[in-house]
Chain A
Amino acid sequence: MKPPPFEYLRPADVEGVLAALARDSGETKILAGGQSLVPMMNLRIVAPKRLVDINRVPGLDRIGIDGDWFVIGALARHTDVLKSPAVRQHTPLVIAAYRHVAHRPIRNRGTIGGNLAHADPASELPAVMLALDAEMVLHSRSGERRVPAERFFLGTFETAARADELLTAIRVPLVSENRRWGFEEMSQRQGDYALVAVAATFDLESGRCAHPRLAYAGVADHAMRIPAVEAALDGASPHEAAFEAVAAKAAEAVNPPEDVHADAAYRRDLVRSLTRRALTAAARR
């Protein structure tokens, strides 16, 4: 179908964007890559009165180091994030997850910030950001604030960002090369949203798993970590038997949704097998 009419604004800088958002922000949507927003408009699921196109705002797509943080600009296109040697070096988990994200034409236009702000519960990147302890940098006319990924994803298409705020960057703490990671997903076809996806990270300290993170997509109305299961992994010896026990605990802990694509029992089973695979892969890295 065709999208409903809207007023189109294309500010030249961040200040212009924030001014546009401050004015009647409830009726306004930010247009970044448009790979989720435009389909929803074409299907008439959403009908914003005004679009603020941020595609030509300079500086929002930078990728680089800031002190102890690795920073990815919100407007960085998936294709460019995927090609970035710095991303490969500092957040290889992001690269591993991208193997499952959509198709090339979508990745050419879609942005990492747009994906995160859209907060699809079956999308890979929110789970990745949870596993990396990332922070979302939000700007509004009243200033800047940083929201940990843990408090950013609130529900289906719902985040902690206010309507007058612009997600400008994602900050990931730089970690030691000791940090292990794994990403596993099951989807119906290559490039589809996840039925279930898991992102796992932990340190190896004196032969034990430390500071574990287990984050999931597809098991609730938003990407989420499971602290009780992380606790079971903390201090465990990184071997198959321990991973199997943790995976079984994860499968018990989730209460996954049922839909036409997969019933709850299947999703639960995926949580078990994908968790074990992700942890095993992480231990081998």
Chain B
Amino acid sequence: MTIANERVRVTVNGVIYERSVEPRLLLSDFLRHELGLTGTHVGCEHGVCGMCTILLDGRTARSCLAFAVQADGCQIRTVEGLGTVDGLHPIQEAFWEKHGLQCGYCTPAMLMTTVELIEANPSPSRDEIRDAVGGNLCRCTGYQTIVEAVELAAQRLSAAKAPSTPAAGEDGSAVGH
């Protein structure tokens, strides 16, 4: 059976890409093989392990459960859009500090899951964090350090976003009165 290719135009981490793809090409394989963005990992390829989690139009999605052709016109964010080796994103920094990873295989998915969680809920409870990261399998950490990392990331991002205090309060004199 010959199947015609389809044109796909997507924006990934702010960069526009245009390709001609087979309809059956999974979005995860499109990101990795067509665009060379291998930060998105692939585990089970049937939606169970969560390794391929990305943000598709602002929401987390399993990229192994979507076809690249379906992403035509969409905005995608992957782990490559977070930070760099020399300038880690605050979420990456928190995972590094709290040892929220060992082998690193689930880390891109954990990071993108954390992006969605904190964007919707700037100060998640530990239960809410567990619920969010529980969709991604981690076989190294036992999750405790991941929960701590997400908690720290949320605190830092909230602190960074908090409105700057008036000059008089900067030394802490106004606090607690």
Assembly CA distance A119 to B166 (angstroms): 59
Cβ 8 A contact of B50, one of A5, A39, A42, A103: A103
Assembly CA distance A31 to B48 (angstroms): 19
B61/A42 in contact, CB under 8 A: no
Interface residues of B in 32-85 (CB under 8 A from A): 45-48, 50, 53, 56, 59-62, 64-67, 69-70
Determine the chain B residues whose CB is within 8 A of the CB of A106 once the complex forms.
Answer: 47, 62, 65, 135
Assembly CA distance A2 to B23 (angstroms): 12
Give the secondary structure class of A's interface.
loop
Q: A51 at the A/B interface (Cβ < 8 Å)?
A: yes
Q: B22 at the A/B interface (Cβ < 8 Å)?
A: yes
B134 nearest CB neighbor, chain A only: A190
Determine the chain A residues whose CB is within 8 A of the CB of B3 once the complex forms.
Answer: 5-8
B1/A3 in contact, CB under 8 A: no
A51/B23 in contact, CB under 8 A: yes
A45 nearest CB neighbor, chain B only: B46
Q: B132 at the A/B interface (Cβ < 8 Å)?
A: yes
Q: A26 at the A/B interface (Cβ < 8 Å)?
A: no
Contact flag A8-B65 (CB < 8 Å), given A104-B116, A105-B53, A108-B60? no
Q: A16 at the A/B interface (Cβ < 8 Å)?
A: no
Determine the chain B residues whose CB is within 8 A of the CB of A3 once the complex forms.
Answer: 24, 26
Assembly CA distance A160 to B66 (angstroms): 27
Assembly CA distance A79 to B56 (angstroms): 14
Q: A109 at the A/B interface (Cβ < 8 Å)?
A: yes
* Most chain B beta carbons < 10 A, residue from A49, A53, A105, A106: A105
Assembly CA distance A49 to B59 (angstroms): 30
A41 nearest CB neighbor, chain B only: B24
Q: A38 at the A/B interface (Cβ < 8 Å)?
A: yes
B59/A79 in contact, CB under 8 A: yes
A6/B24 in contact, CB under 8 A: yes
Cβ 8 A contact of A35, one of B47, B50, B53: B47
Interface residues of B in 105-160 (CB under 8 A from A): 113, 116, 131-132, 134-135
Contact flag A2-B69 (CB < 8 Å), given A38-B47, A39-B47, A106-B135? no
Determine the chain A residues whose CB is within 8 A of the CB of B18 once the complex forms.
Answer: none
Assembly CA distance A53 to B48 (angstroms): 23
Q: B6 at the A/B interface (Cβ < 8 Å)?
A: yes
Determine the chain A residues whose CB is within 8 A of the CB of B62 once the complex forms.
Answer: 35, 105-106, 109
Determine the chain B residues whose CB is within 8 A of the CB of A260 once the complex forms.
Answer: none
Assembly CA distance A42 to B45 (angstroms): 7
Q: A55 at the A/B interface (Cβ < 8 Å)?
A: yes
A104/B26 in contact, CB under 8 A: no
Complex A-B: 27 CB contacts under 8 Å: A2-B26, A3-B24, A4-B24, A5-B1, A6-B24, A7-B23, A8-B23, A8-B67, A34-B65, A34-B70, A35-B65, A38-B47, A39-B65, A42-B26, A55-B70, A102-B135, A104-B135, A105-B50, A105-B53, A105-B60, A105-B113, A106-B62, A108-B59, A109-B59, A109-B61, A109-B62, A190-B131
Question: Residues of B at under 8 Å CB distance from A?
Answer: 1, 3, 6, 22-24, 26, 29, 45-48, 50, 53, 56, 59-62, 64-67, 69-70, 113, 116, 131-132, 134-135
Q: A2-B26, A106-B62 are in contact. List 10 more A-B contacts (CB 8 A).
A: A8-B6, A31-B70, A35-B47, A38-B64, A38-B65, A108-B56, A108-B61, A109-B56, A109-B61, A109-B66
